[in-house]
Chains A and B, each alone.
Chain A
Amino acid sequence: MKKAYAINAGLVLTLFAVITLLFHLGILNRFHNGLILLVCINIILAVSLNLSAGFLGQLVLGHAAFMAVGAYAAAIFSKYITGSEIGLSGTPLLIVALILGGLAAAVAGIIIGVPALRLRGDYIAIITLGFGLIVQSLINYFRTYTGGAQGLLGIPRLTNFNNAYFIVVITVLVLVCLIRSRHGRAMIAIREDEIAAEASGISTVYYKILGFTVSAFFAGVAGGLYAHYLAMLDSRAFGFSYSIELLVIVVLGGLGSFTGAIVAAVVLTLLPEILREFQQYRMLVYAIMLIAMMIFRPKGLMGTYEFSVFGIFDKCKKVFVKFKRKGAQ
């Protein structure tokens, strides 16, 4: 067990070192830097949405709105701190701002989750859809704090590859460990059969609200990262289409697979850039790829499969044993 942790930690650090090296060698430039940060933000959004949509089985149509709440809360906070006498700056300021953004989004999650999730059924889809629209109007309404339609400017640029990468790692780690505990089992049971879960002694209302709130928290964290990467916020960025884009990532990766969500987030963030040479056919190719994907792999890229180093060892071992048996015959 300890070995698995060491190997995973090693892989995570190696990837970090490789990317850092590529930056130093100049193979990756500033344009790539922005792209990688967007990938990081989308990974956090995808894995957190996967918690509520994939593991809890609740259709959430307003994930971008939670991101918006977190983004504005974090941005307003760090703008205020930077302008004040409090000597907090750099990554420590970012971390405090992200936690605050996450908490703001989590509170929003509780407020809309409590009435919607007490009921059985798809009410949460409609309510989150409405929430998305309300958040955008509220941002435009409270102009003095949010900058309204002109956008919120002058946010300190605190997000960089170093801190974003490790925030992604922590997010994934927290969510994976949560899902593999008794609390995660309770959430998956709700997806599988809510009535049976309740009859097995699980408070379904509590775990639905818990899962939904944690999901909203990390959406808020992603929003905070986004705000401190762009240094400006515009409410139009957090519209319905972005929520749908995130849902596409999660469905494509496989509902209920963190590996799938991560892979899909990387691929679908980079794909529009890779397809840039197709120019006006870009969206067409993107759509065709999505349709083909759903036809050939309806359960998503990964289904509910998770990548693990030891899983691969086990598979190799099984193949080897089979081979040996054949040889002996």
Chain B
Amino acid sequence: MNRVLPLFQRWPFAFAFLLALVLLVLNLIVSPSFLSPARLPGTLATLAPFVLVGFASTPSILAGGIDISVGPLATFINCLFVAILIPAGLGNWDLAAPIILAVAAGIGALNGILVAVLRLHPVVATTGMLFLLVGLSLTIAQNPVAAPNNWTEVFAGGIGVVPGALLTIGVAGLIWFALRRTAFVSNLLATGESDVSAYGSGVNIKAIRILAYTLGGLFAGIAGIALTAIVQSSQSSLASTYALLGLAAAVLGGTSLAGGRGGLLGALFGAVSIYLLQQLLTASGVAPSLIQFAYGAVLVVGVVLGATLLAPRLKRNAS
């Protein structure tokens, strides 16, 4: 244990990674064909929205805030695309994709402005946004509307041998990877860790915060596309399902709610863990009502572990 703990502290996502590994093995025992090439694209496509709302939750948490509205934003994007853009003849990818991503990023930016400029508490601001988005989704698509054939199907299947879900997850991952090579992620982590230090050192913390929420919105937009890919209809009712899953994935993946520590890799393993747990429980015939209970239990354990055992012990001499 003495050698394991520092490992966890060095890599906050290690717990979620190990958990995902264990759950994968259990899944393979319960259902040996779990990873067969025939099932893989479908499996990954179902997984993708989980991972992407996890990604979407991460930047705002890293900035020391929180965005509760990313899940409903993803379902809003789904409704917008199926119930408005396609009927309006804007369904082609070259039109729809830019519109979707701009709207999603714009809503994220609005959250950022509420938090960073108007100084609303992030929970208040983004809870307000959550209800707003749920309401909007219900207004534009009260009942599920089936989508005609469209470009998002690619992400449920695949292009050649490449599963389509890897594209949506991959694009988000690439954006993050590119940002890591700029100063943005350093500024983001410093702002989340100690906004006083960042401000005093000359970081434009307002801009950083707004951009963090914008990035979360953008990822939520991609999550909306990944969601549309598998449901192929407007599903305003899914908002509540995804509302907190993203946060759960990020936190389980070791991203600290205090800000400044964590990253997308954590959200990836966190989301995979949650998804695998759901699969496992379903495949072993556990009642659906218990699945939520199990989520909750795993999350509580994960957060407790993260907060106590695994948190880095830094000397913090107040001065």
Do A and B actually bind? no
B: which residues have CB within 8 A of A? none
A: which residues have CB within 8 A of B? none
